[in-house]
Amino acid sequence: MKIFIDTANIDEIRKASGWGILDGVTTNPTLVAKTGRSFDDVTREIVKIVDGPISLEVVSQGTNEIIGEARGLSKIHKNVVVKIPITKEGLSAVRILAAEGIKTNVTLVFSPVQALLAAKAGATYVSPFVGRLDDIGQDGMGMVQEIVSIFKNYSLTTEIIVASIRHPIHVLRAALMGASVVTCPFGVLESLFKHALTEIGIRRFLDDWAKVPKL
């Protein structure tokens, strides 16, 4: 399973890329706004830090406008994946962009049939948002399980990015289901490393090592 970081914060991306486990980055307009920096500045830095898929989201709504914006984004760097919300106009654009070899990530997916439509349109990735579904009392990971089954039934090659992740259990369940990718906020990524017994174990080894006579 690939692990992406879901942020536009350069410090977070730099730190996580040093941990040896990072495969890519996803951003969205909210995450870019949080940095207080321009989109161009932020994206130019991200593509230099991580050599893997970098999702950058369009803000256009009409098919032609989405296509134009997507072509521009794809020119920033070979690793750019254009993130496009699931709408009729968006999927029309995905079909055309796929034919041009431009990779897409269909976002704001909240149902298995939306994911099926995205795959049929030729999306490279589809991003089901699990945390936001959980937030309204629905089963986010249940949706992912259904998408996994549907894609398997029809041998669809679109990769599933489990998005809107809130905690390590989302990551565990995604891995058990065989999702291709999880995209995690920095805090969740950091928490994946932690276990109380690991910390206690390191402390004990260091304490015991201090008792070993040194030559």
Active site residues: 83
Residues in contact with ligand E4P, shown as a per-residue x/- string from 47 to 86 under the rule CB under 6 A: ----------------------------------------
Among 3, 6, 93, 102, indicate the residue that binds ligand E4P (CB under 6 A): 6
3-state secondary structure 77-119: CCCEEEEEECCHHHHHHHHHHHHCCCCEEEEEECCHHHHHHHH
Q: Does 158 bind ligand E4P (CB under 6 A)?
A: no
Q: How far apart are CA 149 and CA 126, in angstroms?
A: 14
Q: Is 150 exposed, middle or buried (0-12, 13-18, 19+ CB in 10 A)?
A: middle
**What is the chain's Cα-based Rg?**
19
Q: Decide: 84 and 96 in contact? Cβ < 8 Å.
A: no
Q: Decide: 179 and 1 in contact? Cβ < 8 Å.
A: yes
Q: Which is nearer to ligand E4P, 91 or 130 (CB)?
A: 130
Stretch that binds ligand E4P, among 58-66, 127-135, 145-153, 205-213 (CB under 6 A): 127-135
Q: How far is the CB of 50 from ligand E4P (least distance, A)?
A: 15
Among 17, 43, 63, 127, indicate the residue that binds ligand E4P (CB under 6 A): 127
Contacts with ligand E4P, residue ranges (CB under 6 A): 6, 26, 28, 107, 127, 129, 131-132, 163-164, 183
